[in-house]
């Protein structure tokens, strides 16, 4: 038998440095990391060191001189405390199947550790919830029982595991000790209470329950704060089925009331009287959905409630041992007196004025009768709005049985609906302004410019050469803005003038505007505006020439910035610069002098 092989175990060799046993294929010693010669390497050059003598019980049978048979796994286990990462890697490389298995195990462990180490604990609110039912079938009550102490205990444990509170708390926290534990550790206790405070729960219905009904518990929670403490809440809506409610007697509660309907048809009145004499009727009340202006054939629905206005008869059933069989009953109107009718609105006249959405209405009665009119709205009106006008008799204050008895008639109706129409609107786009109206506004702008030149300039020192239309800017008020005007239209002109003194002259260009406010769009498509309120520049600027000042702005950008874009927080701005400039010749003073001289 080859002395380098032993049947049933791996071939071994001796480390050339420390003399310990190694796998025959090892390139490095797992004990001292010395490099080992490969097969045939170093023959005749290096002398292999003999193994050191060791006691037989440590190295195996003395007669063989070979180590006791062992597997790679046993070697790894035997020397695991002394293995370096490099040595372990070397062994795994020499035994690839083992390396694959070990790598897989390490990967799985790493994933498990990663998941368990980073995943936040989940606390399901449904685990702490029970719903208890009591009372009688048809008058049962549902009550949530929420184990707050158990929740606090689990929250404390989850926080402790994440190091958010003392770890000792996780060991001591229990539903029956959590409150005293929080009191003893007041700082951590405050954190636990704050973390648990981010959840709530509610029942969709709590009373008038019958066996087989379903009630739903809804949970609400905010994981923002819980996430900071290393856990999260969850809790889906949970259904509970009502059961085990005792049966209870039922009685006709409407047998203890009477409804009397009287008056003329169309203005009948219903009066409810409680007739039941048992003490339980003192705990009941009856309400009609309508009790006046009744017609024959109408149906009046009477609703039964407890005296506090609720329809939960659970406590009522526990007190009296029975509950109402029904809580609503309908009564048909009949027997109202037939009387003649008239049109109460024959004299109604109204005028709608203003501009939408600020329209208003005036009401007037032109008939010779003792009736006046009242509207449910008078102002803030727009086209398409409806208002309700009510006719009110001055003698009785309302149309009722007394009025019918006195006058022998009642109106067909005492209410009339009016739809608002015909209100002008405010211009909200340049396209809303017709060409003819824009032409009139430009003419007004030119007139204002000429009036300024002729009334305030010295003909011997200043001359206007031309005024050129530059464009229009429309400002429309934003819906959510507080503004004085619903719209503003700026018509801007570029003015070229010559300023001169006794020695020299200078050409000066500046910018002038006409501002028209609250332009209305009429129903016929035309527009209207109060031009008396239109304005032009009031401020002047220094031309830089010999003390000459002109009203307006030295540049177009300055005008737009100061007067238009400065208002963009309150107005939507639309610009139209598409029209070709039109030059207006002329110093108006020179034109007028030419006309007078006949030139």
Q: What pLDDT, in 10s, does the model give residues 120-138?
A: 789 999 999 999 998 888 8
Structural domain of 408: 342-419
User: Domain ends where: 200, 222, 241?
Assistant: 241
For the residues 579-587, what does the mean pLDDT come to?
53
Same domain, 430 and 574: yes
20, 29 in Cβ contact below 8 A? yes
pLDDT for the residue numbered 437: 96
* Residue from 439, 425, 266 nearest 359 by CA: 425
Same domain, 474 and 431: yes
529 domain residue, yes or no: yes
Place of tokens 């503003």: 488
More confident residue, 386 or 196: 386
Hey, what are 402's tokens?
Answer: 């007394």
Residues making up the chain, counted from first to last: 599
pLDDT for the residue numbered 586: 58
Same domain, 218 and 319: no
pLDDT for the residue numbered 93: 52
* pLDDT tens, residue by residue, 526-565: 999 999 999 999 988 998 888 889 999 999 999 999 999 9
pLDDT for the residue numbered 589: 54
User: Domain ends where: 72, 91, 116?
Assistant: 116
70 domain residue, yes or no: yes
Same domain, 179 and 146: yes
Same domain, 381 and 487: no
Same domain, 507 and 379: no
366 domain residue, yes or no: yes
* Residue from 331, 312, 315, 317 nearest 254 by CA: 331
pLDDT for the residue numbered 257: 96
* pLDDT tens, residue by residue, 394-439: 988 988 888 888 888 999 899 999 999 999 999 999 999 999 999 9
For the residues 502-526, what does the mean pLDDT come to?
93
pLDDT for the residue numbered 2: 40
pLDDT for the residue numbered 469: 95
Same domain, 557 and 430: yes
181 domain residue, yes or no: yes
Residue 587 has pLDDT above 80, yes or no: no
Confidence class for position 590, pLDDT limits 50, 70, 90? low
Q: Total structural domains in the chain? A: 5
pLDDT for the residue numbered 68: 43
In this structure, of 99-113, 199-213, 358-372, 547-561, the range with the lowest mean pLDDT score is: 99-113
Confidence class for position 502, pLDDT limits 50, 70, 90? confident
For the residues 65-73, what does the mean pLDDT come to?
42
pLDDT for the residue numbered 119: 62
More confident residue, 479 or 80: 479
* Residue from 265, 517, 528, 308 nearest 400 by CA: 265
Bridge-partner residues for 56, per DSSP?
none
Residue 334 has pLDDT above 80, yes or no: yes
Among 50-54, 115-119, 587-591, name the most confident range. 587-591
How much helix, strand and coil, in percent to the nearest 5, is found in the chain?
A: 30, 35, 40
Of all residues in the chain, the percent with pLDDT exceeding 90 is 51
HSE value, Cβ hemisphere, 13 Å, CA-based, for 471? 11
pLDDT for the residue numbered 132: 94
Same domain, 454 and 582: yes
Give me the chain's average pLDDT, please. 83
Same domain, 442 and 579: yes
309 domain residue, yes or no: yes
pLDDT for the residue numbered 32: 74
d(CA 40, CA 417): 116
d(CA 271, CA 260): 5
337 domain residue, yes or no: no
Same domain, 588 and 442: yes
Same domain, 326 and 346: no
User: Domain ends where: 397, 419, 441?
Assistant: 419
In this structure, of 75-89, 240-254, 393-407, 479-493, the range with the lowest mean pLDDT score is: 75-89
Hey, what are 179's tokens?
Answer: 């409150």
459 domain residue, yes or no: yes
pLDDT for the residue numbered 583: 47
Residue 263 has pLDDT above 80, yes or no: yes
Ramachandran region, residue 276 (left: φ > 0; alpha: ψ -120 to 50; beta: rest): beta
**pTM for the whole structure:** 0.46
For the residues 138-150, what does the mean pLDDT come to?
91
d(CA 136, CA 210): 8
353 domain residue, yes or no: yes
Same domain, 593 and 444: yes
């Amino acid at each position: 038998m080859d002395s380098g092989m032993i049947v049933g175990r791996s071939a071994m060799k001796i480390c050339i440095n420390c003399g310990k046993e190694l796998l025959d294929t090892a390139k490095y010693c797992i004990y001292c990391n010395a490099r080992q010669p490969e097969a045939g390497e170093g023959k005749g050059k290096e002398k292999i060191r003999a193994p050191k003598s060791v006691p037989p019980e440590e190295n195996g049978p003395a007669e063989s001189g070979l180590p006791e048979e062992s597997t790679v796994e046993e070697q790894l286990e035997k020397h695991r405390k002394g293995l370096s990462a490099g040595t372990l890697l070397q062994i795994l490389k020499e035994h690839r199947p083992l390396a694959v298995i070990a790598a897989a195990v390490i990967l799985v462990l790493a994933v498990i550790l990663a998941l368990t180490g980073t995943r936040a604990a989940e606390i399901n609110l449904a685990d702490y919830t029970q719903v208890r039912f009591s009372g009688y079938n048809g008058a049962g009550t549902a009550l949530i029982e929420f184990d707050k102490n158990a929740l606090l205990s689990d929250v404390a444990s989850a926080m402790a595991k994440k190091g958010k509170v003392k770890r000792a708390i996780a060991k001591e926290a229990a539903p029956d000790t959590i409150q005293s534990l929080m009191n003893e550790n007041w700082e951590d206790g405050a954190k636990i209470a704050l973390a648990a405070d981010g959840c709530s729960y509610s029942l969709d219905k709590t009373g008038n329950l019958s066996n087989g009904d379903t009630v739903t518990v809804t949970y609400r929670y905010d994981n923002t704060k819980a996430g900071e403490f290393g856990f999260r809440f969850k809790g889906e809506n949970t259904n509970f089925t009502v059961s085990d409610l005792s049966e209870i007697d039922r009685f006709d509660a409407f047998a203890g009331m009477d409804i009397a309907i009287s008056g003329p048809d169309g203005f009948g009145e219903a009066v409810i009287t409680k007739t039941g004499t048992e003490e339980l009727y003192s705990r009941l009340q009856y309400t009609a959905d309508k009790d006046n202006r009744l017609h024959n054939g109408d149906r009046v629905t009477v609703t039964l409630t407890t005296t506090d206005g609720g329809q939960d008869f659970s406590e009522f059933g526990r007190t009296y041992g029975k509950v109402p069989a029904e809580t609503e009953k309908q009564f048909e109107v009949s027997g109202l007196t037939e009387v003649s009718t008239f049109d109460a609105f024959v004299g109604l006249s109204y005028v709608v004025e203003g501009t939408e959405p600020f329209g208003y209405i005036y009401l007037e009665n032109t008939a010779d009768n003792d009736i006046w009119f009242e509207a449910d709205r008078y102002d803030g009106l727009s086209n398409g709005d409806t208002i309700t006008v009510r006719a009110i008799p001055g003698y009785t204050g309302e149309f009722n049985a007394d009025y019918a008895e006195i006058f022998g008639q009642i109106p067909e109706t005492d209410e009339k609906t009016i739809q608002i129409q015909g209100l002008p609107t405010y211009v909200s786009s340049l396209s809303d302004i017709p060409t003819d109206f824009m032409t009139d506004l430009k003419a007004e702008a030119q007139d204002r410019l000429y009036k300024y030149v002729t009334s305030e300039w010295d003909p011997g020192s200043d001359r206007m050469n031309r005024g050129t239309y530059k464009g229009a800017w429309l400002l429309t008020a934003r819906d959510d803005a507080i503004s004085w005007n619903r719209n503003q239209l700026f018509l801007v002109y570029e003015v070229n003038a010559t300023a001169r003194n006794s020695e020299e002259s200078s050409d000066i260009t500046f910018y002038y505007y006409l501002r028209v406010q609250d332009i209305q769009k009429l129903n016929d498509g035309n527009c209207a505006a109060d031009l008396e309120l239109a304005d032009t520049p009031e401020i002047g600027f220094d031309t830089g020439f010999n003390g000459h000042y002109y009203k307006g702005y030295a540049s177009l950008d300055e005008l737009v910035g100061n007067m238009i874009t400065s208002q963009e927080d309150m107005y939507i701005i639309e610009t139209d610069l598409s029209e070709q400039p039109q030059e207006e010749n002329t110093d108006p003073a020179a034109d007028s002098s030419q006309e007078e001289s006949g030139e």
